[in-house]
């Protein structure tokens, strides 16, 4: 990174300051910066000694936020980073960046109070990391069924208002509530329009929904998770040292030697799940963020969106032109999308239709 204002004005090849980063995960147009912190919360901190607690949180949360924030800034400003061996890593295709601080120790009462950490000066409001223990992260990655779920959780969890509107005993309670109800916070529609002036003007209903939000305290939601987790461990233990003589494709049932596994907690079924998985399997550019955006809508909206293709095809204009429907979905520049459904008349030229579609998108 630049070591002076003069270097900041120049090319990245002239930067002379080296900075450390633990993990950079890039998947499609999304980057996740992860900082590992092995510092444990001391018994004195857990007993409520405020000075010691502040020191521990500084070592774990504040430093991770600052380190991840530096890397995030370089990617956003330079379009990439220069590695230790002087190779340039091009990240100009990355549209969305998330940061996470992963600790070996649980941080009850701290990791789920992001807004208070910002107010206390531990983290910058522009660089809010998802603070999570390694154990909780491991459980969460086992619970998600496809990547779009995980990305949507990162978006919702890192929202500065998330832990203002939702107070929970620990991270897994927040995550399981996300599975149940989405962990959604209504954004301020006027601030959204400041960031995205091309969006339609705020409606009275949007302003009313934002004003009427009230904070909620989430009670423990981990009973179903505990049942699944411990029954899975029991089944694994029962099978240790045994062989499976079943043919491929057989579904083993519960027996005395193979206990029944409790159902795994899952996100509420999405009407758009087939489409999200299909976009993922096609591997189109931005499949991950598109999937998370589709998944972000309320269930009634998703059900309506799932019917759009059939509705457009069943109601042609009659003059040979295709049909279209456009929906903007955005709360900030990083995760904003303009979703457009287009039908191509069978008699149209594919290349001409492609150009017309691109012109239409630019106009919108």
Q: 254-267 pLDDT, tens per residue?
A: 555 556 889 999 99
**According to the model, what pLDDT value does residue 181 have?**
93
Strand-strand pairing, 96-103 and 130-133: parallel
**According to the model, what pLDDT value does residue 110 have?**
64
**According to the model, what pLDDT value does residue 125 have?**
75
For the chain, the domains span 1-133
pTM, full prediction: 0.85
Q: Which residues of the chain have pLDDT under 70?
A: 39-42, 45-48, 53, 56, 107-112, 236-259
**According to the model, what pLDDT value does residue 240 have?**
56
């Amino acid at each position: 990174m630049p070591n002076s204002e003069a270097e900041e004005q120049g090319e990245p090849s002239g930067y002379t300051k080296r900075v450390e980063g633990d993990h950079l995960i890039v998947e499609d147009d999304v980057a996740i910066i992860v900082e590992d912190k092995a510092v444990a919360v001391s018994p004195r901190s857990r007993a409520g000694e405020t000075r010691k607690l502040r020191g521990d949180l500084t070592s774990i949360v504040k430093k991770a936020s600052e380190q991840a924030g530096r890397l995030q800034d370089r990617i956003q400003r330079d379009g990439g980073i220069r590695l230790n061996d002087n190779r340039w890593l091009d990240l100009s295709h990355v549209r969305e960046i998330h940061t996470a601080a992963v600790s070996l120790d649980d941080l009850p009462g701290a990791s789920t109070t992001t807004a208070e950490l910002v107010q206390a000066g531990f983290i910058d409001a522009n660089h809010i990391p998802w603070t999570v223990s390694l154990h909780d992260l491991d459980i969460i990655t086992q619970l998600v069924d496809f990547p779009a779920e995980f990305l949507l959780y990162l978006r919702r969890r890192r929202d500065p208002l998330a832990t203002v509107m939702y107070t929970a005993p620990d991270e897994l309670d927040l995550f399981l509530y996300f599975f149940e109800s989405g962990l959604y916070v209504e954004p301020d529609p006027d601030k959204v329009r400041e960031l995205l002036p091309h969006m339609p003007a705020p409606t009275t209903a949007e302003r009313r929904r934002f004003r009427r939000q009230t904070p909620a305290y989430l009670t423990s939601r981990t009973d179903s998770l505990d049942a699944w987790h411990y029954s899975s461990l029991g089944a694994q233990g029962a099978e240790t040292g045994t062989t499976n003589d079943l043919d491929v494709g057989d579904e083993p049932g519960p027996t005395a030697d193979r206990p029944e596994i409790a159902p795994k907690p899952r996100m509420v079924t999405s009407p758009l799940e087939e489409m999200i998985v299909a976009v993922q399997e096609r591997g189109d550019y931005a499949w991950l963020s598109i999937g998370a955006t589709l998944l972000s809508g309320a269930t009634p909206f998703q059900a309506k969106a799932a019917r759009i293709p059939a509705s457009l095809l069943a109601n042609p204009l009659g003059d040979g032109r295709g049909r279209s429907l456009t929906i903007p979905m955005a709360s900030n520049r990083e995760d904003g999308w303009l979703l457009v459904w287009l039908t191509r008349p069978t008699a149209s030229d594919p290349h001409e239709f492609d150009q017309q579609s691109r012109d239409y998108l630019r106009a919108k």
